[in-house]
Amino acid sequence: MASEADAAELARLAEETFRDAFAATNSAENMRRHCETSYGESMQLAEIRSPEMETWLVEDDDRLVAYAQLRRGKAPAAVDARQPVEIQRFYVHAEAHGQGVARALMEHMLARAGQLSADVVWLGVWESNPRAIAFYRKWEFEVVGEHVFMLGDDPQRDLLMRRVTCPIRPLRQSGTATPREACSNRHEASGAKQPMGNAGGRATFSAAMAAARDCADTMEAQAANVVGAVADVPMDAALRAQTVERCATLKDRAGRVTFELALLEAELSKGGPPDADTVRRLIGVEATMMEALAPLAELADALEGAAERDPAQERAFVLVIEATGVMLQGLDRAREATAALGGAARRM
């Protein structure tokens, strides 16, 4: 964590990275006015001393290359949190792009937020910064609102993004493990093969079936959209082929899920309410969808690295992250429905 002795170098890095990120798309006068009121040794020293803020630094050969700040305190109503923590700033010097610095720093910030007992981590990001938005989406932040950020005399629209705090890392493949498992309730069905005979139980099962079907349909549609879109954007040939391959696998998994759901519906149409084995099969469908999404993490990491080396490839990274975000939203809805289903099964 930053000490008072770091204030001068932190001020230099903070202004330099802000100018690198936004000077090309804002007026020189507005950039000057913002930097004069936001960066300077005395201002960064006050931030380091603040009991409500933590400033974390990344060094390379005794030179600062990245920093991020956590702030405890009230959040906008749209964030909807009991004990929120804000990532107030998160910047990596251009010379350190593509070296895993941003990933390591975000891992630390989220872990630290958990240590501070935050239930939600939130941040604001300029709507005209698609690369940053894509990066935060990769870490499962979702847009929940907006607010105005004044850059000099220019009122700009920032998106408010939030992430429920849990000890997980961004979506990545690790056997059959999935990123949201650490946060989720385990859906353990009863060992007894008992029917969900009450009307509420049958309605819960129907809702879970519908959510799973919608999620599978969304995965298949988004995979097809990505394949079509990457054909027309600048992109490394090997990464383009990898993207097409991963999306084809995703579509295949989604098709298998749709087939399994059709089998379940056919069996249930023969009569009788769903029993615990049927509940377990449906919950297994959710696990299949989670596993199917995991390989996109490695792809997103590779695309992010390519975009950092060559900004012309940024659009491909954004396309994949945006599609993954849509699919994760569908998966969240399916998880909520199956969580209720698991509870119904335990009560049978």
Q: Highest-confidence range of 136-150, 286-300, 303-317, by mean pLDDT?
A: 136-150
Global pTM reads: 0.61
For residue 180, is pLDDT > 70? no
For the chain, the straight-line distance linking the first and the last C-alpha, in angstroms and rounded, comes to: 51
User: What number of residues does the chain have?
Assistant: 348
Say if residue 182's pLDDT is above 50. no
pLDDT band at 189 (very low <50, low <70, confident <90, very high): very low
Do 75 and 157 belong to one domain?
A: yes
Q: What are phi and psi of 314, to 5 degrees?
A: -60, -40
pLDDT of residue 155: 94
Q: Is residue 254 part of a domain?
A: yes
Please check whether residues 30 and 119 belong to one and the same domain. yes
Q: Which of 217-226, 247-256, 260-269 has the lowest mean pLDDT?
A: 260-269
Evaluate whether residue 177 is within a structural domain.
no
Give the total number of structural domains in the chain.
2
Mean predicted confidence (pLDDT) in 305-330: 84
Same domain? 219 vs 339 = yes
In this structure, are 325 and 282 located in the same domain? yes
Number of Cβ within 10 Å of residue 4's Cβ equals: 10
Verify that 278 and 308 share a domain, yes or no. yes
Domain carrying residue 91:
4-164
Q: What is the pLDDT of residue 272?
A: 62
Same domain for 107 and 235?
Answer: no
> Does residue 169 fall inside a structural domain?
no
User: Which one is predicted more confidently, 173 or 273?
Assistant: 273
Per-residue pLDDT band at 181 (split at 50, 70, 90): very low
Report whether pLDDT(205) > 60: yes
Phi, psi for residue 347 in degrees, rounded to 5: -85, -5
